[in-house]
């Protein structure tokens, strides 16, 4: 089981064996169980695979952990092209900056679970007609629905 929670200016993704991915939105920084991963490339640490791709001077993160794919990027204002969309692949969890611009990106990525963050998360959720109650953390179970998208509103 994977747990996702927000703590101050960061999102933490914690695997069942307590390995942690930290997404620092305000600093455009990512750590994979203590390892800074802020350059394009392929990484593996603590049984978590990560591919970081640079596209138009922006970094895109594609994590594989516990048989799930988690996608994250800092800036949602990019031109949606096949090159980057194919990098995302089949997305289980999309962690996205909440804004009106990110709605367009979300609509092009079919994710099973969407976690908007940052100041515009309420705008993102409201634009999509989602009014889920805020929660301290979200636990992703082994089986996620292939037919629908679950929106997660983290407190903070």
At residue 37, the pLDDT reads 95
The residues spanned by each domain of the chain are: 2-151
**pLDDT score of 135:** 93
CATH architecture of 2-151: 4-Layer Sandwich (3.60)
Encode pLDDT of 80-112 as tens digits. 788 888 888 889 999 998 888 888 888 888 899
Q: With a cut of 50, which residues of the chain have pLDDT below it?
A: none
Name every residue whose Cβ is closer than 8 Å to that of residue 99 and which is 6 or more positions away in sequence: 76, 118, 120, 123, 124
> What is the structure's pLDDT at 45?
94
Cα–Cα distance measured from residue 66 to residue 117, given in angstroms and rounded to the nearest whole number: 23
Contact between 51 and 84 under an 8 Å Cβ cutoff? The reply is no
């Amino acid at each position: 089981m994977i747990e996702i929670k927000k703590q101050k200016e960061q999102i933490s993704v914690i695997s069942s064996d307590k390995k942690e991915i930290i997404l620092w939105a305000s600093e455009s920084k990512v750590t994979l169980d203590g390892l800074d991963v802020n350059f394009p490339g392929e990484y593996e640490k603590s049984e978590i695979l990560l591919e970081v791709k640079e596209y138009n001077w922006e970094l895109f993160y594609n994590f594989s952990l516990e048989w799930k794919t988690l996608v994250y990027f800092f800036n949602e204002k990019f031109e949606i092209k096949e090159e980057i969309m194919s990098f995302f692949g089949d997305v289980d969890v999309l962690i996205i900056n909440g804004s009106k611009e990110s709605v367009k990106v979300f609509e092009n990525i079919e994710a099973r679970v969407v976690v908007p963050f940052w100041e515009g998360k309420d705008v993102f959720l409201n634009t999509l007609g989602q009014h889920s109650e805020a929660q301290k953390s979200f636990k992703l179970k082994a089986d996620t629905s292939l037919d629908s998208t679950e929106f997660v509103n983290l407190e903070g």
